[in-house]
Structure formats: C-alpha cells, structure tokens
Amino acid sequence: MRYVAPASIAEVVELLIGDPEATVFAGATDLVPQMRAGRPEPSVIIDLKKIARLTEVSLDNGTWRVGAAAPTSDLTDNAALAADLPGLVHAAGLIGSDQIQNRASLGGNLCNASPAADSVPPLVVNDARAVVAGPGGERTVAVADVPTGPGRTSLAPGEFVVEFEIDRPPARTSDAYLRLIPRTEMDIAIVGAAARISLDAGGNCSEATIALGAVAPTVVLVPAATEALVGRPISDDVLATVAAACAGAASPIDDKRGTIAYRRQVAGVLAKRAVAEAAGRAGNGGGR
C-alpha cells in the first residue's frame, strides 16, 4: 500500500483514474479501523488534508462552504457557524473523541455511508449540497443523494467530495440534532433525529424538515411530520403527531443494540424533542 498527499484536486482525480483500487481519505478515522478489521487494503491511499480548499471553512455571500476534509474540531470551534447551524455543529462534535475530531470530517462521515452517521441527518434537513470533483470536472449534488446504502455511495469512479455548500438559514429558523447511544459517549447512534424549523411572526411553524438516521439503510425524511407542523404552533398535540409519524416512518432492524419496536419508539421521542429544540432556537431569532 502506497500513501500519497496531493496538493491539488486535479492530482487526486488523476490518481483515482490511474488506479481503480486507490481510495481517498479525509481523516482515516473509519479507514484505519476497517483495515484492522480485515477489509482489503487499497493499493494507494490518498490523503485529502493537504489541499487547502478541502480543509477551509468560510462564509461566502450567505453560503457556508465547509471543506470535506476539514476537521470537525474546526467546526465546533467556529462560533459563527455554530450560531447559524447549531444542530449540525452539535452533530459534528459527537463524532468520536476529542482526539478523533482533530482528524474526522464531514466528508468522511458522509462517504463512509453508515446509516448511523451523525452529521448526515442535520446536513439533509439544512439542504446541504456536496460539490463533487471527478474526471468530468465538478458537479453539485444534494447530500441526501450521496449515500445509497450501507457502505455505498452514488459517486462514480474517479469522483470524491470536495466541499459542502450550506445556505445560511433565514431569521427565525434553526436546527437541532439528537441521538441515543448505549453508552455515555463515543458510540454509534441507535437512532438519530434532526429537525429544521422556521416560525412566522405569530409563532406558527412556517417550514419544517425532519430526518431520521440509523433506522433505515439511508436517512429517512418524514413528510407526514412536516404536514403536521406547518401552519400550526408547536403544541404538545402537534409534537405527539410528529412522534407518531416518525415512529411509523422508521424501518429499523433488530440487532444486539436495539429491537425494531424500541428503535421506532425512540425515533418518535427524539424527533419531537429535536423539533421542540429547533423551534425554541428559531423563536429566539435563529442564528440572526
């Protein structure tokens, strides 16, 4: 196995085209454990952290640009980003330990394509877009369309994620992410729930997006929960409807970490709590 650290996006594409067994990594916090567990080693591993664009975090004309290889610790240390997207930044801070967060990245968390990835549900509810580079140049795709199943993505041969684009939320809009894990920290989510809520001047919900993680092969959006929220105040009755809709939308599996029935119940509980948390932030003006 050969290690390379290119200085440009074009060089990465050339390496990937030249060797179908080559792979990129944005932190290796998943790659190294997978190889230690017996997964075949790639012929070449390509470190993306030497390319400035892939590690930068910036606000450009109302759009956040987050490099796919930017350490999640850079996100949690960014007060302006946390003010605009508190749910996403909170999720980034849940990925592993403090030491791991100096290497882990949103790009790696997305492209590892784990159903339980913490950062993907909040990226989805915030309509995040992934800028993908490849032999044909760059294209932009919704984050929700990148994972296609456990360990699988829609990226074509020679493609990799360069950065994320996330529009700043308007006033009275905010997000939240909650998860349940078996231990107090450093574990994989049994269920994750993200919500983005907008409130009008009267305190009614004007827009809503709810997404669940770890309850299906990919992130699950819950339109029925959105329908229950829009045009109404965030009341206990509405939250109960949201919980029921999210429990019904979950399609989890039975395993040693939780039963189907348990995960469905937890999905409803976490979703209504995430909605309430996002609405509370939105009521305080969101990030503005």
pLDDT of residue 41: 85
pLDDT of residue 116: 94
pLDDT of residue 29: 73
pLDDT of residue 215: 97
3-state secondary structure 92-128: HCCCCCHHHHCCCEHHHHHHCCCCCCCCHHHHHHCCC
The segments of the chain whose pLDDT lies below 50 read none
pLDDT of residue 185: 67
Residues in contact with 127: Cβ distance below 8 Å, sequence separation at least 6, in sequence order: 142, 166, 167, 209
Write down all domains in the chain, each with its CATH number in brackets: 2-167 (3.30.465.10), 173-283 (3.30.390.50)
pTM, entire model: 0.94
Region of 7 please: left (phi>0), alpha (psi -120 to 50) or beta.
Answer: alpha
pLDDT of residue 39: 78
pLDDT of residue 287: 54
pLDDT of residue 60: 95
